[in-house]
Amino acid sequence: MLRRSIAAVATAAALVLAPAVAAEASTPLPATNTAHRCVSHTTGLCGWTHRQRPANRYETAQCRDLSLSYSRNSSGTCSHHHGVRYWFK
């Protein structure tokens, strides 16, 4: 009985979340930086200037070790990943 209830809740959650994920996946990223500006900072380059695009619209920077950053502010971004390679916001 508990397994059936858990399965029902999981199915309901999947039905609610699926349209939102599908809509986000179908939204193309802009070819150029039209909605964001690169952070004016001493490290890293503007990704848009160097024809680099973010992996998704939430990515704020790409670190030098190629990991992605979703930090809300520029302070400390990629500090444990050898610094920022490209800024996107």
Q: Is the pLDDT of residue 72 over 90?
A: no
What is the mean predicted confidence (pLDDT) over 48-74?
90
pTM assigned to the model: 0.59
Q: Residue by residue, what is the 3-state secondary structure of the chain?
A: CHHHHHHHHHHHHHHHHHHHHHHHHHCCCCCCCCCCCCCCCCCCEECCCCCCCCCCCCCCEEECCCCEECCCCCCCCCCCCCCEEEECC
Between 10-14, 23-27, 52-56, the lowest mean confidence (pLDDT) is in 23-27
What is the mean predicted confidence (pLDDT) over 8-36?
56
Question: Which one is predicted more confidently, 40 or 59?
Answer: 59
Question: Which one is predicted more confidently, 43 or 15?
Answer: 43
